[in-house]
Amino acid sequence: MSKKEKLISLIVLVCLVLLVTVIGYQKYHENIRPTKESSPASTVETEPISSQKE
């Protein structure tokens, strides 16, 4: 039972870290170099996010 719980918690932790890393990398990449040509959808999504920060 404890082994199963450890495995589940480990998987959840890895998923969370991966998610945070991907989101953080995307935000960092967009802040440094906003690529409108390669990803027009992401630039549209960043507009409401930046307005919320301000």
Of the candidates 21, 26, 19, 20, which has an alpha carbon nearest to the alpha carbon of residue 49?
26
Give the pLDDT of residue 33: 65
Q: What is the pLDDT of residues 9-53, one digit of tens each?
A: 999 999 999 999 999 888 877 776 655 555 555 545 545 555 555
Burial call 3-30: b when 16+ CB within 10 Å, e when fewer: eeeeeeeeeeeeeeeeeeeeeeeeeeeb
Give the pLDDT of residue 12: 97
The pTM for the full model equals: 0.47
What are residue 23's phi and psi, to 5 degrees?
-65, -45
